[in-house]
Amino acid sequence: MSSALIEALASSPVLLGVSTTLLGLLVGSFLNVVILRLPKMMEADWKNECRTLLEITEPQAAEAKVTLMSPASCCPSCKAAIRPWQNIPVVSWLLLRGRCANCKTPISIQYPLVELLSAVAAGVCAWRFGWSPQLAAALVLSWTLIALTVIDVREMLLPDNLTLPLLWLGLLLSTVPVFTGMSGSIWGGALGYLSLWSIYHLFKLVTGKEGMGYGDFKLLAALGAWFGAFSLPMILLLSSVVGAVVGIALILVRGRDRSVPMPFGPYLAGAGWLTLIWGESLGNLVMHR
């Protein structure tokens, strides 16, 4: 990046906002790849580990290896390759009217929604933090939370591949510091994990059921490492309120079976992002209440 461009971005909030939003669209397209392929990659690793532990020597049925870079993107229905002009964030989905150009099978609205959400989140971060180290960190956090949210909705899974790097990055950023100091970050990570871990085991002891997964513990630990221990009550309060409202709405509107588990990760992620953008204002509001 040239010094002239850096100076222009630093001095022009409008240029920074537009550039960051466009970058968010491109990143959102990549996030769709992560959302679709990361669980498949993890499943393949689990199968290989199980074969090793069980000492299974019979050859496996041949399966194409899936990575974030290969195979090339294609229609899941007809396997037609997706051409570059069919892969422009949001625009291609609109031009194709949400259908495969070859077989006309509907394309999930998830793809443009993730791209739009990534772009909007990036634009809001640019507005909130301007040209600063906080902006770079906020973009990484926002995009990771989006990927975690959609994966959890689709798979009821919060991958360690995303939550643990997020935790370590939060701890490393505290050495600068970016959002919180080192002491607050360490205590935030520890207490974030232990708080949900304790609730999980208490709920299991009382009901005999598992109320949440270990991925939720790690995600809250990561958020605690990013924002400090004092942010945890607010994050838990926000996530619980939003989760309760959404859950009740789904039961009333769609008749959702109350016995069907709902992922808690998206509510934690949403609360974490609200804390990122409006944490100080929300904290003051909670304290004055």
- From first to last of its 289 residues, the chain has per-residue pLDDT tens of 678 888 888 889 999 999 999 999 999 999 999 999 999 888 888 888 887 888 777 776 666 788 888 888 888 788 888 888 888 889 988 888 888 888 888 888 999 999 999 999 999 999 999 999 999 999 999 999 999 999 999 999 999 999 999 999 999 999 999 999 999 999 999 999 999 999 888 888 888 777 778 899 999 999 999 999 999 999 999 898 887 777 777 667 666 566 667 788 999 999 999 999 998 777 666 555 5
pLDDT reported for residue 254: 62
Distance of alpha carbon 140 from the chain centroid: 10
CA distances, 61 to each of 38, 43, 58, 76 (Å) = 21, 15, 9, 20
Q: Tell the residue number behind the tokens 């499943």, with chain if given.
A: 43
Q: How far apart are CA 267 and CA 160, in angstroms?
A: 18
pLDDT reported for residue 14: 93
Identify the CA nearest to 216 among candidates 185, 234, 237, 192: 192
pLDDT reported for residue 209: 78
Bridge partners, 99 (sequence order): 106
**To 5 degrees, how large is the angle CA 147–CA 233–CA 170?**
45
Q: How far apart are CA 267 and CA 149, in angstroms?
A: 8
pLDDT reported for residue 78: 83
CA atoms within 13 A on the CB side of 283: 15
